[in-house]
Each structure stands twice: as structure tokens, then as C-alpha cells.
């Protein structure tokens, strides 16, 4: 038995190898408690089950928000890092119910990638959230025009495009609509110093912090 950061009791059943989802659950809780995010996106080489489902050509997308899911899928199409949306549902959540705790870490033999995602889903509450299981696309991935190594770096280009098209440091969030991201970074460093954290930079970009 383990207790999560938010205080939920977790029953560790059969496999202690299913530890990544426990870490992701506490990371989500920490982000919610400290940063009040408008959305959460996590990427993880989480399950072998996603390779059984999708092979190595696509990553599995689990999402509780249709707009967020559509935006991520579109970004993936633009960068060649394809996503396939997988189901989440109360019926799958019930597979990780526990008789002795609030939740258990695995749900049995079937739907392994889905129950792993549902474990994280349990902790994000109603915040728009997307989980990308990139185990097939990121490790021992096929060689391509942009990847000639064992690890593809899957998701970096996708998230960069997603942020460019949709997110925080976007020109519509900046007071000067003609300002480029490069100019914004230079201004932030000039006012806040070279050791600026990502959190302070985002707050600066949104006009919430000027010194």
C-alpha cells in the first residue's frame, strides 16, 4: 500500500514494474496544486500494451477533452508524429478499483494501456488532460527521414507545433501582437535575469509578472 501526494491510498498489485504511472500521478497532483494549469499533457513510454495495439507507427492518445485531443492530433499530422485516440471510460476506470484502497496500479491482463491511462486520469480530476503513451513510437523506433537512432525523440516536434499553434507563449497572449517569441525571451531575460524559470517566463508572457 502506498499513499499518493494527494492522499489517495494505492494498492500495488502483482507488478512493481508498473511504477511510472505512480510518478505521473504525483506529478499531475503537484502541477495542479502549485501551478493551477489550464491543461496537462504528459508523454511517457508507459506500457508494452500500446505496442500490441498500435505497433511503432503511432502513439496512443488518451484525453478527456475533445478540443485538446483534436489540436494534438492536428499538430501530430503537421509534424509526422501521428497519434491515434484511444478510449477512456468509467468501465475501464472500474478495472482499477480496489477493495482495500482507493485505486490499484494495474487492472489485469486486458486493456493494459487504457487502465494505465485511467490511473493517471483518476488524479487529474476535471482538468483538460492528455496522456501520450509513446512506448512504441519513441523506443527502438523505425528509421525515418528525421530519425536514424534507437530513440526517435518522438513528441518534441509535436509539442513544439502544438504550443506554436495553440498555447501559452503565443502572440495573442502577448500585449504587443507583433512581438516575436525571440523578442519576448530577450525581454524576459532583461527584466528577470538569465536564470529565469519556465514558470516565471510563462507568467511573464501572460503579463502576470514583470519583475
Task: With a cut of 60, say whether residue 210 has pLDDT above it.
Answer: no
Task: With a cut of 70, say whether residue 65 has pLDDT above it.
Answer: yes
Confidence class for position 7, pLDDT limits 50, 70, 90: confident
> Which residues lie below 8 Å from residue 188, measured CB to CB, with a gap of 6+?
196, 201, 204, 205
> Can you tell me the mean pLDDT for 111-128?
93
Confidence class for position 167, pLDDT limits 50, 70, 90: low
Q: Measuring CA to CA, which residue among 117, 119, 112 is closest to residue 8?
A: 119
Strands 59-63 and 129-133: antiparallel
Task: With a cut of 70, say whether residue 172 has pLDDT above it.
Answer: no
Backbone angles phi, psi at 162, to 5 degrees: -60, -45
Confidence class for position 45, pLDDT limits 50, 70, 90: very high
Q: Are 39 and 127 in contact (CB under 8 A)?
A: yes
Q: Is the pTM for the entire model greater than 0.85?
A: no
What local confidence, expressed as pLDDT, does residue 173 receive? 46
* Virtual torsion, Cα 174, 175, 176, 181, nearest 10 deg: -20
Q: Measuring CA to CA, which residue among 18, 85, 14, 83 is closest to residue 46?
A: 18
Amino acid at each position: 500500500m502506498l499513499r499518493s501526494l494527494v492522499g489517495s491510498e494505492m494498492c500495488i498489485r502483482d507488478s512493481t514494474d508498473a511504477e511510472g504511472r505512480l510518478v505521473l500521478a504525483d506529478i499531475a497532483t503537484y502541477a495542479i496544486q502549485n501551478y493551477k494549469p489550464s491543461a496537462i499533457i504528459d508523454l511517457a513510454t508507459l506500457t508494452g500494451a500500446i505496442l500490441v495495439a498500435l505497433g511503432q507507427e503511432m502513439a496512443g492518445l488518451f484525453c478527456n477533452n475533445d478540443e485538446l485531443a483534436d489540436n494534438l492530433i492536428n499538430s501530430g499530422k503537421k509534424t509526422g508524429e501521428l497519434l491515434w485516440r484511444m478510449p477512456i471510460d468509467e468501465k475501464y476506470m472500474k478495472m482499477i478499483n480496489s477493495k482495500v484502497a482507493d485505486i490499484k496500479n494495474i487492472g489485469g491482463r486486458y486493456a493494459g494501456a487504457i487502465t494505465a491511462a485511467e490511473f493517471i486520469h483518476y488524479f487529474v480530476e476535471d482538468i483538460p488532460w492528455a496522456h501520450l503513451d509513446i512506448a512504441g513510437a519513441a523506443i527502438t523506433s523505425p528509421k525515418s527521414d528525421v530519425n536514424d537512432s534507437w530513440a526517435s525523440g518522438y513528441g518534441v516536434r509535436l509539442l513544439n507545433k502544438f504550443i506554436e499553434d495553440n498555447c501559452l507563449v503565443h502572440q495573442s497572449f502577448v500585449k504587443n501582437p507583433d512581438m516575436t517569441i525571440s523578442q519576448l525571451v530577450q525581454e524576459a531575460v532583461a527584466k528577470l535575469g538569465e536564470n529565469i524559470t519556465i514558470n516565471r517566463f510563462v507568467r511573464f508572457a501572460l503579463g502576470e509578472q514583470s519583475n
